[in-house]
Amino acid sequence: MTGHILRGRLLTFHAEPQGPEDSGAYSYIEDGALVIAGGMIRAAGAYADIAAKAPGLPVTDHRPHLMMAGFIDPHIHFPQVQVIASWGAQLLDWLNTYTFPEETRFADPAHAARMAALFLGQLTAHGTTTAVAYASVHPASAEALFAEAARRDMRMIAGKVMMDRNAPDGLRDTAQTGYDDSKALIARWHGKGRALYAITPRFAITSTPEQLEMAGALVAEHPDCYLQTHLSENHDEIALTARLYPDAPDYLGVYERYGLLSPRALMGHCLHLSPREIGVMAETGARAVFCPTSNLFLGSGLFDDAGLRARGTVNAIATDVGGGTSYSMLQTLNEGYKLLQLQGQRLHPLRAFHWITRGNAVALGLEDRIGTLVAGSEADIVVLDARATPAMGLRMERAETLPEELFILQIMGDDRAVVQTYVAGVPQKSVVVSTT
């Protein structure tokens, strides 16, 4: 056997934990190992067994740290890397004041290329190995993001936004150019290496009916692409959408009319859905994406995870940088826990870590490739240290169980808790570990 061994405590999920006692939903190995070769996990198990079957392979020893599948962020805005932490109002004012002026800069390919490298560097520093990202309206922004992800062999799902109204000069396409540019990007990038394309009408407010019709045509022509957009984030947004589309039964009905809903449709936010909309989400399989730090920062509302699940939706969880306030999926879980607490809902740490790994992979239909540490998966791995800060170390002195350790990471962790991130088996952080 060829390759490289990573040694440490292994945690991987096989199903969503149904409660604290659901040990069958995951595997935990105190002294585990992964064999990495060609960007894939070739074997996984106890270190003693792996070492006996693969003698002579070099070993990187991450003990006593915890190794998990790399985190998956299914809703993030690449052009907002320099918008994050901008003081301000609610959604529509925030977009007009900060986001739209910033996104005009991404017409410059050199700027887009520089930001792409910095953006992906932030993701991997925080343990994220796959993202579903919005580029700007400019094809060059999507080109830059896909090119940088390809250079790193990083799985990336992305698309240029389509927006032909209610945006500044320099930040609008047309129904036809939005279609043409998206189709060219699909031909160039979708399915090439680890790249996948997301058809991206930003939201109903910034697209005319003609553009949404074109987006629907793209979805019909490329059913294996994703569709990403925003839905029911803010009451003013919902009211403006109703004025722009007076014949639609509701906000989701706009997207429904143009054939945009399917299990590959990722609907950001979904905070203020009507019963009819929830039913359509469940019927079509469209995914709801919870963005807790953004919902708090912009004062948008509370995501009803349990209520949506009870109706049959599949829910993902994401950072939504730059409305979101952290690249860290750990901090996303932290704020998600609190928002659900406000509604009497519980986010147990086992379910939380399933959510940002295999759970988000299930939402993307990619659980056979990413989100677990089983043999045959892509070698995207995060190494976590629950004693990364003095405060965490002090708390860990009293931790006795794996769920307690996970909860400390969930509430107190950030990029400092990420010892190493592997993308396709390649380490992304400059750290010193034991190698034999």
Each residue of 191-221: pLDDT tens digit?
999 999 999 999 999 999 999 999 999 999 9
Query: Has this prediction a pTM greater than 0.95?
Result: yes
| Phi, psi dihedral angles at 86 (to 5 degrees) | -100, 120
Confidence of residue 352 (pLDDT cuts 50, 70, 90): very high
pLDDT tops 80 at residue 1: no
pLDDT tops 80 at residue 431: no
Q: Is 274 exposed, middle or buried (0-12, 13-18, 19+ CB in 10 A)?
A: middle
pLDDT of residue 86: 79
Each residue of 382-426: pLDDT tens digit?
999 999 999 999 999 999 999 999 999 999 999 999 999 999 999
Confidence of residue 97 (pLDDT cuts 50, 70, 90): confident
Residue with tokens 């299990």: 263
pLDDT tops 90 at residue 88: no
pLDDT of residue 435: 54
Residue 181 CA to residue 135 CA, distance in Å, equals 13
Q: Which of 291-327 are b and which e, b meaning 16 or more Cβ less than 10 Å from the residue's Cβ? A: bbbbbbbbebbebbbeebeeeebbbbbbbbbbbbbbb
C-alpha of 200 from chain center: 15
* Nearest by Cα to 288 from 306, 265, 254: 265
Each residue of 265-281: pLDDT tens digit?
999 999 999 999 999 99
Confidence of residue 95 (pLDDT cuts 50, 70, 90): confident
Each residue of 125-158: pLDDT tens digit?
999 999 999 999 999 999 999 999 999 999 999 9
Residue 34 CA to residue 38 CA, distance in Å, equals 13
Do residues 314 and 265 make contact, with C-beta atoms less than 8 angstroms apart? no
For the chain, the first-to-last Cα distance in angstroms comes to 17
Each residue of 295-311: pLDDT tens digit?
999 999 999 999 999 99
Residue 405 CA to residue 384 CA, distance in Å, equals 10
pLDDT of residue 87: 83
CB atoms within 10 A of CB 243: 8
> What tokens were used for 181?
């540019």
Do residues 81 and 138 make contact, with C-beta atoms less than 8 angstroms apart? no
Report DSSP letters for 101-132, one per residue.
HHHGGGGSHHHHHHHHHHHHHHHHHTTEEEEE
**Percent of all residues in the chain with a pLDDT value above 90, rounded to a whole number:** 91
CB atoms within 10 A of CB 98: 20
pLDDT of residue 434: 52
Give the pairing type, strands 195-201 and 161-162.
parallel
